[in-house]
């Protein structure tokens, strides 16, 4: 099975990048690809609970459909986002960069980033 790793580094309100990423992961999932999404830097803002609009709905749908989502603990702390404020199902990882590199090198067939 094909594996897609996606990296989101932009906040949900900056432009349509995070929304576009949600659409790409949804289409990949529909094609029966394994999908993992990593949130770094300002991208961790996408993981907050109760997001309005496209981001919030697609985060919930993706998690319900088995998309693996991981957020940088360091970047969450830097933005004063607590674990309780993060969408249920998003894994908070101390060494997200290491986890991302390992996933890309060992498992990914495709990698995209915004």
Write the CATH number for 63: 3.40.1260.10
Is there a contact between 82 and 48 (Cβ–Cβ < 8 Å)? no
| Mean pLDDT in residue range 77-91 | 96
Res. 15 pLDDT band, cuts 50 70 90: low
Mean pLDDT of all residues in 20-38: 76
Exposed / middle / buried, residue 10 (Cβ in 10 Å: 0-12, 13-18, 19+): buried
Report the range of poorest mean pLDDT among 19-33, 44-58, 65-79.
19-33
How many percent of the chain have pLDDT more than 90?
36
The phi and psi torsions of 106 (rounded to 5 degrees) equal -95, -30
Number of domains in the chain: 1
Residue-level pLDDT at 16: 60
DSSP state of 16: S
- Domain interval for residue 28: 3-113
- The residue-averaged pLDDT of 16-44 equals 77
């Amino acid at each position: 099975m094909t594996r897609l790793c996606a990296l989101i580094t932009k906040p949900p309100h900056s432009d349509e990048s995070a929304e576009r990423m949600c659409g790409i992961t949804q289409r990949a999932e529909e094609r029966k690809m394994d999908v993992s999404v990593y949130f770094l830097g300002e991208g961790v803002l996408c993981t907050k609970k109760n997001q309005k609009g496209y981001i919030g709905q697609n985060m919930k749908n993706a998690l319900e459909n088995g998309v693996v989502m991981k957020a940088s603990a360091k970047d969450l702390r830097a933005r004063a986002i607590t674990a309780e404020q993060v969408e249920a199902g998003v894994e908070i990882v101390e060494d997200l960069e290491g986890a991302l590199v390992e996933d890309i090198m060992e498992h990914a067939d495709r990698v995209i980033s915004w």
